[in-house]
Structure 1
Amino acid sequence: MRDPVDDVFVCKYYKWVVYPFQEAVKAHRETHNPEMYNRPETDLHVTVELNMEGEKKTRLLDNFTRTVGIPHRFDQGEIPSVAAFAKTQEIQKLAIDAGAQLVGGVDMIKKIQVGELNLNDFKYIVAHPEILPEMVVLRGLLKKKFPNPKSGSLDVNLGTAVEKFLYGINYTASKDEYEKDYGSVQTVIGSVSYLFLLLYDRE
């Protein structure tokens, strides 16, 4: 397809115009300012295209959901609930300081086993690797929530793991219905005004 030569053109006949990320954010800020759409706090949605081929091209990746930590927090509405497990009080304190709503060690595992404590209301369960052998008895109860390194819920840096699940971006990678080797992620990465401040207030 041809490159557009004018400022105004029919999109379906020309290549999409590709902007650097900073310019794209700036353009959205201009269109959403009070003089135009008047929605400066609107969410900025992104689509990330993925190759869903595995190590062998004949084997494709399944859809997956992950959470990625971000250096600067933004309002995503309700903060999810996180329970954290660690053996030592020192590491437990790191989880408490990071914002985990429930923190404990071996004693907490025993309470869960006998039904004194229920983790169903917690969206995420994180743990320090040292306590993993004691947590194995909870695998059947926790199922997919059971901490594992692949999801980042089993981490030696427990405080960082707690913060990631409390304030990070949760996303799902999904395969295309017809082109199975093509996948995409659609998620929100912040408000237009928030991202503009991050990108331009540092210059």
Structure 2
Amino acid sequence: MISVGYHQLYLTMLKTLRRTISTTPCVSRSKRLKMAGSEALPTKKVAQAPTRVVITSEEVDKLIAQKKKLINPPLGDKFWTKVPVDDVWVSKYYPPKHYSLQECITMHRQSCCPAMFDNEDGVVHVNLDLCMKTAKKTKFTHSYNGNILLPHRFDTGKPKRKILALSASPDELDVAKSHGVEMAGSTQLIAQIKRDEIVLEEEGIEVVIATADILQQLLTIKDNLPLFPSKKLLSTGYDMDTMAHLYTYGIPYQTTNIKDDPMVSKLYAPIGRLNMPMDNLEENWNTWREHLNGIRSTKGPVVLGGKVECKPSFESFLLQVTERSQLLDDNEDDEEEVMDEVGGN
């Protein structure tokens, strides 16, 4: 593949062709089922997947070998220090270009101007690669999920989540209502839910937060809740103000697993709008990185790399996140520890 100032070529093509971006009309689930000749069936929640993935030491060796092959190209370590001297070069003989967040945002702003995509306030996402390793090298975390509060709030374009707040204290319920929760109550509300006078699914309730003084009573309606409050997700505790603020203004996230590779998962993380000040975008990105890297206690970062994207632009720019030397050290540690485990067996 030949690279010829790719970004500038891309902008020139957009200006010349003036492509019209169209969207495919959405077909509702009921219409799809009708077209397929079947009736809509009621959905039922299934149990959560296990929090750990276990594979054999041989499979770990194979994955490590594949990743070292990607990090160490046939040309050796000199590959990563090569710099093209001409405007035209064969891309496979040179390392991929990584950019700072400021450079990525600047290039996206060029293609999202009114003369092109006319999307100057588009949502900027970082498509992240996350490390799923645990302290034991043959076990991997199944997924990461939770909520994050960014220092500079913005509209993500997604509908607001409807929240149910439960507490035995009237003062705590008043605090929850001040944050704009859709429903708040105590034992009387729990009784109504138990008698099916109030169906949370019909009300559109997605999140339940509760203080510790009412958790015992929630066990009687456990099957009626979309998700039982937990300390891990910070949806139960003694501070209603903190919980309501987190779930009202926080951004939920859930990692996506990669088939046949339990070592890495994907996360599509919004960091702000394209027209926000650069400092705000950088602070939001740093908050994401610090939050994700602080999830686990084992050594090494969780965030391995990522691409900065801003739809509907087709471009994505590699973000400088982790040094290559750190990736090599992590892989060497993996290989040594797996060999120790195999030798111990």
Q: Same fold per TM (> 0.5)?
A: yes
1:98 aligns with 2:179: yes
1:115 aligns with 2:200: no
1:124 aligns with 2:207: yes
- When residues 111 and 16 of structure 1 are mapped into structure 2, their CA distance, relative to the original with a 3 A threshold, is same
**Structure 2 gaps, min length 5:** 1-78, 283-345
**Structure 1 gaps, min length 5:** none
When Rg is computed on C-alpha atoms for both structures, the one with the higher figure is: 2
- When residues 115 and 37 of structure 1 are mapped into structure 2, their CA distance, relative to the original with a 3 A threshold, is closer
Higher relative contact order (CA 8 A, sep 6+): 1
Q: Aligned equivalents of 2:123 and 2:111: distance in 1?
A: 13
Q: Aligned equivalents of 1:11 and 1:32: distance in 2?
A: 26
1:40 aligns with 2:40: no
Q: Aligned equivalents of 2:177 and 2:110: distance in 1?
A: 41
Distance apart, 1:91 and its partner CA: 1.0
1:4 aligns with 2:83: yes
TM superposition score normalised by structure 1: 0.83
Distance apart, 1:128 and its partner CA: 1.5
Q: How many residues align?
A: 199
Aligned with 2:224 (options 129, 141, 163): 141
Deviations 1:86-126 (A, max 9, x none): 11111111111111010111221111112222211201111
1:51 aligns with 2:131: yes
Contact 1:45–1:188 (8 Å) recurs in 2: yes
Q: Aligned equivalents of 1:35 and 1:88: distance in 2?
A: 56
TM superposition score normalised by structure 2: 0.52
Deviations 1:170-191 (A, max 9, x none): 2221222122211121232322
Q: Aligned equivalents of 2:113 and 2:246: distance in 1?
A: 31
1:198 aligns with 2:280: yes
After TM superposition, list the pairs within 5 Å mapping 1:67-106 onto structure 2.
67-75=147-155, 76-106=157-187
- When residues 126 and 12 of structure 1 are mapped into structure 2, their CA distance, relative to the original with a 3 A threshold, is farther
Higher share of residues assigned helix: 2
Deviations 1:133-172 (A, max 9, x none): 2212122222x61100111211333233223223322222
1:153 aligns with 2:246: no
Aligned with 2:244 (options 146, 152, 162): 162
| 3-state DSSP of counterpart to 2:141 | coil
- When residues 185 and 11 of structure 1 are mapped into structure 2, their CA distance, relative to the original with a 3 A threshold, is farther
Deviations 1:51-104 (A, max 9, x none): 112232222211343222223321123211111111111111111111101011
Q: Aligned equivalents of 1:33 and 1:62: distance in 2?
A: 40
Contact 1:175–1:181 (8 Å) recurs in 2: no
Q: Aligned equivalents of 2:84 and 2:182: distance in 1?
A: 56
